[in-house]
Chain A
Amino acid sequence: MTAAATALAVMFAIVAIGTAVGFLAGSRQRMDLEQWTVGGRRFGTVLVFLLMAGEAYTTFSFLGVSGWAYSRGAPVLYVLAYITLAYVTSFFILPQLWELGRRHRLQTQPDFFNTRYRNRYLTAFVCVVGILAFIPYVQLQLVGVGIIVSVASFGHIGPAPAMAAAAALVVAFVFANGVRAVAWVSVVKDFLMIVAAVAIGVGIPLVHFGGIGAMFHALAHLHPQHLVMPGATTNLGHSWFISTVLLSALGSYMWPHLFGTAFTARSADTLRRNAVVMPLYTLTLALMFFAGFAAVLTVPHLRDGDLAVLIAAQQIFPPWFLGVIGGAGALTAMVPAAILILTAATLFAKNLCRPLLAPTLTDDGVARLARVMVVLLGAVSLALAIHGSSTIVSLLLTAYAVMAQCFPGVVLGLYWGRVSGRGVFVGMIVGVVTAASLMAAHRDPVFGLNAGFVGLCVNLAVTVCASLLFPAKELAAASAAHAGATPSAE
């Protein structure tokens, strides 16, 4: 067999196994809405761990992190800090959300806003923001599959067919088995991804320099400025680092799909245990840093930094192992794409369509509509990915900054009785507009600070002030509605 055929065969086998696991995962369960979206709320520590790891480690960790290490240098360290601190944040939010989810049968993030604030417009706004933010996210995953498969197949499969195949598989297993499929495909994906990360992160420095330490010594000698902030950039210094780490650490769990994992768990304790151990998984990401830094020396002057590690890997590994890397990379993009599509479809059917257009729809009707949306969203993302421009990354960064604006609404909603729906609504709009307009005007970072973080600070200030100014009516209405709606909750 030729090199390309070997790599392709291995890659196909891996994707086939991963997908088969997704189809088998929930085949014995009846798939009602509760089962499809939150796995019947029965996931134990291990499944929640796999689901969260599957969601947290996307193509961004595979290509983006090494790409940043290659093209920007030390500022990429923000990733290690923010992912670890996001788990710390989750420790103090998710168990409480789980408790509310159990009492009020919450399945999605807008469910929380709806139950807490009783404000239809706020809920719809959160919902629309979530769905819009998801689209560049799914698109980026598919573009990642295209890149990985075409490099690993030595250019024999173009990005477009690879993206189409990946999108079709994702839609199929989400359609059939919902969140349970995603958790189980994660098992295959995580195992392979660790194998690939160790091989790449240790292998590339070892072959070219004789070890990781020797590689860093060479880099510190030749390009010392690359290894401290602001690295190869001019404006990503320490204030940028602090503001970006804070925004990302506080904002991560505001993504509706990560927020939703809180409701899949069997107990609040499961979520706490997970938050304790999850940071250790970030260690695998450090390996991608080694690979990206090594590529600075071994494959210098590439125009597209995202390709650096794949090209460096192509130089040293045999074709069959390139197939393993390609398969792992493809699954690494498909698992998050699956959960994103699943969440967006549920948000659309349950939180946007039913309350505004079809109030008589039953839960089974919502589940059917959500499945139709899975197919539609898969098709839209695929079309965008194929015809997409190079601005997806900047769209995604904007989406991150915008999504984080839910933070005051969630945290104050949990812990501060006086916060009002109107306050949160006004604060969120101000925060979203601030962050999005600064980024659209290319003023990120602004005065050395992350634009999303600036938006978050303004948002928080406005939310608190507006809640103090207009509390009474909302507070009375909310507590009355609460007392009426759920007499048995307390």
Chain B
Amino acid sequence: MKWRQVLAAWVGGMGVVGLAAVSAAQSNPVLEITPDRARSFRAAVQLFAQPVAASPESESEFESGPGGPSPVPLAPAQLEELRRAIEEGLEFSSVVLPLSRDAYLVSQVSESIQGGPRTVCPEWSQSGAEAWVEGEIRKRPTGIAVAYQVWDSARCTRLEAETVDGRVTNLRRLGQRIADRVVAALTGRAGASETELAFVSTRTGQTEIFVMDADGNRARSATRSPALKSFPAWLPRGGALLYTAFQSSGVPALFLTSRGGVRPGPFLRRTLAGRPKYRGVFSPQGDWVAIVSSVAGEAEIFRVRPAGKDLKRLTQSSAIEVSPSWSPDGRQIAFVSDRSGAPQIYIMDADGGNVRRVTFQGSYNTSPAWSPDGRWIAYETRLEGHIDIWMVDPTGEVNVPLVAHPRDDEGPTWSPDGRKIAFSSNRRGRADIYRIDIDGRNLVRMTKDSGQNTQPAWSPYPRLEDD
């Protein structure tokens, strides 16, 4: 009988297990449980604490105005603002939603986050929260530090404990960053609420590149000139944008924006000199730029190092080849070619070899956008006289609709977490930027200003040292 004890210890690692239990386990069937339906996680966001340091200054009362030394960095309204920002960042994810504040069974305010196991786990679990977020604000010489923790209420374990630095004037961004990390703690993939979208807008009367936050707020111009501009594309490190502008000569050329710490102005001016450069797209690794230029009047795709070396023509047909989109590993490029007589999506290796066609349905498939996880290529397709957005897998075997509407939906771009797609649509008359979850839920119009808003380009994840 000894082997059973050994087996029990080996199987469970739980110490002493009764022999009867082992016998039962051996004869019991496996209980197999599949999920009945998908639901979002819920996380409770507490009001973060502000522990008062035991220093002489701490005897003074809270002062919100400038000047006097204040032991607590944030006013009550600011604490609430931070909490709201975290909740809205979670709401953005669609994956981990904030627990309704009416559902709280325990205090809304974080205790000191120091210390060990929590006794409130069952209460949070009963509230319907898979996790809760607590934290405290600490003063820093320049700004504040927010120490936060993410707790799993069912297992009563701490999933994450981090400190993020920021400024009192940008609590929203701090909250988004924390929310994105909460999503990562529960799913393994960070949320993307702290990202941006570039797009082309005519709202100023000129055609400019604009940037807005992923929640649709803070739209601001990234360019200012009369030149017609198009095709904004982020540099892989984020911050800066590459775009196309039609110069006074009428020849399109590539430019970098003045934002994001790069030297603004013409980019790769000596590459393909004198020829039009319709569009430039950095590889995700940043080691190549795919360029659409023209040969004998037909658009072709080239690649070149960002410093201008190793120029190579990738497409060789006499047809039109445009719209390069890199695979996330930088080894392949999806593009559009009309070599079959109508525009279709193709994939080639990054050196131009191994070309294969991906879309076979319909006679108009353009604007491929490769997903960050590599599993999908979103693209435009013309159906019954209007343009919809579909997704095809790189083998071409699975082809599914994502956005279908009697008006045109164009220019898909992926959020860096791969959970959402933004696109432009004229469904309300003028063109606006929308975003949608890739399961087809949560359609949100992001641009609310006048003018035509088109060609969205979703930024990479922010770099944490950007602040």
A and B: bona fide binding partners? no
Q: Which residues in B have some Cβ–Cβ distance to A below 8 Å?
A: none
